[in-house]
A and B are shown apart, each in its own frame.
Chain A
Amino acid sequence: MSTGVIGFRRPRLDRLKAGATGNLARAIGGNRKALVGLIVLAIFVLLALFPGVLAHDNPNAEIYKRSAGPSAAHLFGTTSYGQDIFSQWVFGTRESLVIAVVAGGLATVLSVIIGVSAAYRGGFADGVLSLFTDVFLVIPAFPLVVIIAAYSKNGGNTILIAVLVVTGWSYGARQLRSQALSLRSRDFLVAARVRGERTWRIIVFEILPTMTSLIVANFLGAAVYAVLAAAGLQFIGLGNPDSMSWGTMLFWAENNEALQAGSPLWAIAPGIGIALLGGAFSLLNYAFDEIANPALRPVRQARRERG
């Protein structure tokens, strides 16, 4: 290993990363909202990984009594096709979670690339990228998503995720760009440039670690968007109706007039699932806001001593 600049930078990066993760962990632990969000998320992850533990029935099997109410055998009742709703709900966790994480993650990656590049390049490139970002930001995502999905009717989840990423990256790109801009003129970056560091190295090793908390916050926001938008699309039938996810559950429930027919849990259970998952990401996001901006943290008052 050469003892040049690379050797020099390693310890600093490690320290930065360790410091950042250590601080992060401590900060999350100390924040009530973050803890709640994290616990809910953990529960969902467990359900997604091991659905068979909790739900014993095959979610697709249409063998039970139709439209039954909740009972000991069927916690949430059955659908009008005779399927166990609880099983569907548990098995549906996986797909909803995967869509949220993958779409959210990819959108964040895109945001980082475009936002930070725009800020770092500056000038004309920045102007073009910013305009591009702003246009995509302003165009209402859902109508666009609906149209794209309508044109590609039977694309399944891949198209769904692609469409979510295409419409979800712009908000983050804007935020990341403005933070990167403020960092751009900081001394440690000027020093890196003077050292002769190549652009991408500066971006990856100097700028990004400093922006970790904003990137994570962006991911959480993108995940919320993905959860809600995916559910919305599946609800109106633009997803893959044969897949097992909460959105498609809602679709079938609506198609069979579950609310009016007296098996409302068919619609309510997945709805609550979506709300809880989105809510968990949202809470974490809110907590991150507080962690990143100390001014927003709860304030203590104290008593005065006499004399």
Chain B
Amino acid sequence: MQSWIPFIPESASTESSRVDALYFYLSGVTAFFTLLIAGVIIFFVIRYRRRTPHEIPRPIAGSHALETLWSVIPFVIAMSIFVWGAGLYFHQSRPPQNAIEVYVVAKQWMWKIQHATGQREINELHVPMGQKVKLIMTSEDVIHDFFVPAFRIKNDVVPGKYTTLWFEATKPGTYHLFCAEYCGMNHSQMIGSIIVMDQTGFNDWLSGNANQQTAAGAGQGLYQTLGCASCHGNTGEGGRGPALLGVYNNKVQLSTGQTVQADEAYLRESILNPQAKLASGFGPIMPTFQGVVTEEQVVQLLAFIKSLSSQPAGAGGAPGAQGSPKLPVREPTR
């Protein structure tokens, strides 16, 4: 849209033109005040230059009216920027429910990407145009940052927790992916591409890469081999451990009497550090899986647990091992 304006990066998401609009407003305000101050100073410096070495100008005490004026006007302008910026930020930090979910695991110095449908990529992310995409990100080592200038989005990728980003691409093309948080020797080579394709192209790409297990399918395999099933039940119906059916994004009563939302962060913590927040009615018998499973495997387990939630109760099992090219658009959880 603003491609005729120099020094503005490509604009390829629904977010980018909104951020640019605020940027232009800020640039205008900055230019106005900088020129105002510079103009006033230059005018005064010339107009009131010293004409004789002896002149002593009359002192001027100051003016409460002026002080008020030049406190209030900047404050009002600052508040307009604050409200505008905070509104966009709030919107941007709330991923929509119907987004395609993609898992991102960062490590020195690469981006490992796993689609819910099973496709895996390194340093590349293929996404369809016109669909909302939500990234669920974590790091295996240090803090990284997922930065796509063309989408005007960025968020740190932090070890030990999940952070999210979402976007809706508006223009096919290949865009920069940068790591924006300094992460060591090859920080500047921890780069990649976001490839935005139209729907047909994306479907072709999906089916061309379909001979892989879905994330949930891989998670189901882990669920069995790690022995989760012996306590949580073959189909997640529960046993000595709490039931996993329908647990995702629902409330869990803790042994302390508190209630938590079973989001990705809670489920991850319960795998890696089960004693931290025990579900009410269950003993502290689950071993920790810290160091046993990688971040990518945790992500697969989560995908499996989520798939339990989105299936009608009793259907059991996970989606078939063969990823279907159908898009995994999840129903909003109620």
The answer to whether A and B belong to the same complex is: no
Q: What residues of chain A have their CB less than 8 Å away from a CB belonging to chain B?
A: none
Q: What residues of chain B have their CB less than 8 Å away from a CB belonging to chain A?
A: none
